[in-house]
Amino acid sequence: MSNEPLPILPGATLGILGGGQLGRMFTIAARTMGYKVMVLDPDFASPAGQMADVHLQADYTDHGALRQLGAACAAVTTEFENVPAASLIELANHCRVSPGAQCVAIAQDRSHEKSWLAQNGFATAPFALVYSEGDLDAGLADTGTPALLKVARFGYDGKGQARVNSREEARAAFREFGGQPCVLEGFIKLEREVSVVLARGDAGECALFPVAENRHENGILDVSIIPARVPDSLAQEACAMARDIADKLGYVGVMAVEFFVAGGKLMVNEIASRPHNSGHYTLDACVTDQFEQQVRVLCGLPLGDTRLMSPVVMVNILGDRWQNGGPHWDALLAHPNIKLHVYGKETARAGRKMGHFNVLDADLDRALRLAEQMRRAL
């Protein structure tokens, strides 16, 4: 007899911890496939909660809500790294949970993540762990200046990090972060940033999406270009390294690995234990998108086909676009090869991800030109 779990089929209820845009897109994928969805998120206006069959408005550590979720759902997943690992362990007593608590615990703490990568032989930018002001001197000696001081937990989209050029600036930044554990990262001569989104199943089977080339602005992903404009050998190496990371973690679920390209070589920047912003192009350009793939892995189904059907450029739409009477949707929607995705968030704030659009074209350069034009027109 096979020890593999029986697949969870449409009609069952799936749960997700977290109700932001990633949870919303998972919910849409799951409901399209015939599943019911229960979302646990404390925000009454949760974008995923708007789409779910049931929205449990409670904290991620609420034992009653966790019991209710575990009892109602055949399987539960997450939409962001900072779900308490203890909550995943508690849920695992009642239903299938993917990804597992151990993998999430590594990805949600930069100090654990960097240490794990180094211990497993994956190249990273120079880094040092900082637990007190006294660690900064030795850390700066290792990384040099300028450097980036990043909080170990709860930092994202450029938040919780500061560029430091001296010991005095590093100490001031550490105090500003409340003396919480940090990672100090040395600067490298960056050529490009790329990422790989993949799915890995219970038996170790793996499906990788095409490599994305990413551009950031103020620490937030701005544009993704697919396929990435890198040599085939580098793209293949990125895929192989991402798969090796997933295998060594024993990961089950959808994950992303972000890389720096420096001196023609790859360095791992971060691991995301969930679908990823740089994978949003898959919604319109791949046979299977990353959220359907998340449903498939969670339910123990065969992984979907990840072929790229068209070159594509993805552009994030931030809350800044709502100033001065925008966004100008008419300019965007005048183009039949542009696909718009809006996340249903009630309040638009500067730097907040409110949606994205994908530009599909057989010619990647033409897609990029139109994407840039529409980015300005919004």
Least confident of 8-12, 128-132, 263-267, 325-329: 325-329
What average pLDDT does the chain have?
94
Candidate ranges 78-82, 148-152, 253-257; pick with highest mean pLDDT: 253-257
Q: What is the pLDDT of residue 6?
A: 87
| CATH C-level class of 192-377 | alpha beta
Structure token pair of residue 218: 């103020």
- What band does 48 get if pLDDT is binned at 50, 70 and 90? very high
The reported pTM is 0.94
Q: What is the pLDDT of residue 251?
A: 97
Tokens 């498939």, residue located: 296
Give residue 159's Cα distance to chain centre.
Answer: 15
Query: Where along the chain do its domains lie?
Result: 13-97, 126-186, 192-377
The correct CATH number of 13-97 out of 1.20.1600.10, 3.40.50.10860, 3.40.50.150, 3.40.50.20 is 3.40.50.20
Is residue 1 pLDDT above 50, yes or no? no
Is residue 80 pLDDT above 90, yes or no? no
Is residue 323 pLDDT above 70, yes or no? yes
Tokens 């960097």, residue located: 114
- What band does 129 get if pLDDT is binned at 50, 70 and 90? very high
Q: Are 38 and 63 in contact (CB under 8 A)?
A: no
3-40: b (≥16 Cβ within 10 Å) or e: eeeeebeeeebbbbbbbbbbbbbbbbbbbeeebbbbbb
Alpha-carbon distance values, 126 to 112, 143, 316, 375 (Å): 15, 5, 30, 34
Q: What is the pLDDT of residue 161?
A: 84
In the three-class reduction of DSSP (H, G, I as helix; E, B as strand; rest coil), residue 218 is classed as coil
Which residue from 76, 24, 31, 30 is spatially nearest to 48, judged by alpha carbons? 24
Q: What is the pLDDT of residue 3?
A: 53
- Planar angle of CA 146, 152, 155, nearest 5 degrees: 85
Mean pLDDT of 259-275: 95
Is residue 278 pLDDT above 90, yes or no? yes
Q: pLDDT tens digits for 356-371?
A: 999 999 999 999 999 9
Share of the chain above pLDDT 90, in %: 82
- What band does 2 get if pLDDT is binned at 50, 70 and 90? very low
The correct CATH number of 126-186 out of 3.40.50.10470, 3.30.450.40, 3.40.50.720, 3.30.1490.20 is 3.30.1490.20
